[in-house]
């Protein structure tokens, strides 16, 4: 017999109660608010694709019924007047907004309190650290995240779950605290590729994303990317082993060279330039409450000449055009999700080298679990597509998900 919305919510609340004092995945949970939503759903007809399913919301998205603090003491207790657009759409589709998951400061590189659900001495990644840990710990089926550099794909890979960064603009960013207009992308972290597609389909009002079909024996462009030098030896070996498993199961692998040598520098230029302007209010009025690490990045962006930024934007635009010519008949690009396992220590959220280029190229990225590394922590492989090819990329990712483990 199918569970009621209230029963599903109670199970989620019990899971949070059992582990969150250890993991610190949640910034705010209002159990009574969650139960009220569930009872209202149980009392009425089915609302939509997400009816009765609890959802975690990264605390970079506005919520009218829960505090929204953006990972910063500047906004402690802040209560927006309205939900972010994707949150409102999820609620309209029947989702239960369970609570706010922890984000790093303004969804940047400064670590937050969340720890890895399999080993608390390791980072869970960031900036969607709370969403990744909450899903990996079984507290929710899925949660919203955001990616400016690698903030969905990397933590999902570290924690052994699915991360889906849709094509740029698929999920509305209205009501999301912006840091970098060219890069910021709303997405999800989930237990499976199908769950990831479900949450985006419901909250982007894109039911076509559920029609991903069955994909067999895809042609994959094996891409080590210009940043391959950042891979740990263990991470590189694990990626090669995963690629071999896929080939053994019928995937056709072709070497794919991404010869965009200046794209990494362009991503960094765009990031710091736009972030300095996006955080102008906070830096002007609350400079002493911004972390030194973030201040250094913002100050460098504020001093950057416009011509340098404009050149980087033009280069990125040209790379997106060239990527369409390069992909040919490849169904998706296969590339590492991260440089290796989640690193030891909580002073960093990990290396973003395997994510930066793909985020700037604006296409869909999906990471699926690919076993554990030598340290016993999860690894992932990443499937990347051209902008707008989300359904196809999800279909390939689902095939890989079922085959690689």
Catalytic residue among 72, 127, 128, 389: 127
- Judge whether residue 272 has pLDDT over 80: yes
* 30: confidence class by pLDDT, cuts 50, 70, 90: very high
Query: What pLDDT shows up at residue 215?
Result: 84
Cα-flanking dihedrals φ and ψ of residue 124, to 5°?
Answer: -85, 0
Per domain, the residue ranges of the chain are 5-209
Does residue 58 carry a catalytic annotation? yes
User: What mean pLDDT comes out for the span 2-21?
Assistant: 97
pLDDT tens across 71-123, in order?
A: 999 999 999 999 999 999 999 999 999 999 999 999 999 999 999 999 999 99
User: What mean pLDDT comes out for the span 11-25?
Assistant: 98
Neighbours of 142 (CB within 10 A): 30
- Judge whether residue 1 has pLDDT over 80: no
Query: What pLDDT shows up at residue 32?
Result: 98
The vertex-160 CA angle with 159 and 161, nearest 5°, equals: 100
Query: What pLDDT shows up at residue 212?
Result: 83
pLDDT tens across 277-334, in order?
A: 999 999 999 999 999 999 999 999 999 999 999 999 999 999 999 999 999 999 999 9
- Judge whether residue 209 has pLDDT over 80: yes
Does residue 151 carry a catalytic annotation? yes
Catalytic residue among 72, 128, 129, 151: 151
Does residue 300 carry a catalytic annotation? no
**Taking the model in full, what pTM does it have?**
0.98
Query: What pLDDT shows up at residue 214?
Result: 81
The vertex-235 CA angle with 197 and 261, nearest 5°, equals: 80
Neighbouring-strand partners of residue 334: 222, 383
Fold type of domain 5-209: Amidase signature (AS) enzymes (3.90.1300)
Cα 359 to Cα 26, 84, 182, 227: the distances in Å are 26, 22, 9, 14
């Amino acid at each position: 017999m199918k569970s009621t919305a209230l029963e599903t919510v109670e199970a989620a609340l019990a899971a949070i109660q059992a582990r969150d004092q250890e993991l610190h995945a949640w910034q705010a949970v209002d159990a009574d608010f969650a139960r009220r939503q569930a009872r209202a759903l149980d009392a009425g007809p089915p609302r939509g694709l997400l009816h009765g399913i609890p959802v975690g919301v990264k605390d970079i998205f506005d919520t009218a019924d829960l505090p929204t603090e953006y990972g910063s003491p500047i906004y402690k207790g802040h209560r927006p007047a309205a939900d972010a657009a994707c949150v409102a759409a999820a609620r309209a589709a029947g989702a239960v907004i369970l609570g706010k998951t922890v984000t790093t400061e303004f969804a940047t590189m400064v670590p937050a309190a969340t720890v890895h659900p399999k080993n608390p001495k390791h980072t869970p990644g960031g900036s969607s650290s709370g969403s990744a840990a909450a899903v990996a710990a079984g507290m929710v089926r899925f949660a919203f995240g955001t990616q400016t550099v690698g903030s969905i794909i990397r933590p999902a890979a570290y924690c052994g779950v699915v991360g889906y960064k849709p094509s740029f603009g698929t999920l509305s960013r209205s009501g999301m605290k912006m840091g970098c207009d060219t890069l910021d992308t709303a997405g999800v972290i989930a237990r499976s590729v199908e769950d990831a597609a479900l949450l985006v389909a419901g909250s982007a009002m894109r039911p076509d994303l559920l029609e991903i079909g069955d994909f067999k024996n895809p042609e994959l462009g094996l891409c080590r990317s210009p940043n391959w030098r950042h891979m740990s030896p263990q991470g590189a070996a694990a990626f090669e082993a995963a690629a071999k498993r896929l080939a053994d199961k019928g995937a056709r692998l072709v070497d794919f060279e991404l010869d965009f040598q200046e794209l990494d520098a362009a991503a960094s230029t765009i990031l710091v330039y736009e972030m300095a302007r996006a955080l102008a209010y906070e830096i002007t009025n609350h400079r002493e409450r911004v972390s030194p690490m973030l201040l250094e990045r913002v100050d460098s962006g504020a001093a950057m000449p416009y011509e340098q930024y404009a050149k980087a934007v033009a280069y990125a635009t040209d790379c997106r055009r060239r990527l369409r010519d390069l992909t040919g008949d490849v169904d998706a690009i296969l590339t590492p999700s991260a440089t290796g396992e989640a690193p030891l220590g909580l002073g960093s959220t990990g290396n973003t080298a395997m994510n930066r280029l793909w985020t700037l190229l604006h296409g869909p990225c999906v990471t699926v679990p690919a076993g554990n590394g030598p340290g016993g922590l999860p690894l992932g492989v990443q499937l990347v597509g051209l902008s707008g090819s989300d359904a196809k990329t999800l279909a390939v990712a689902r095939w890989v998900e079922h085959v690689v483990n």
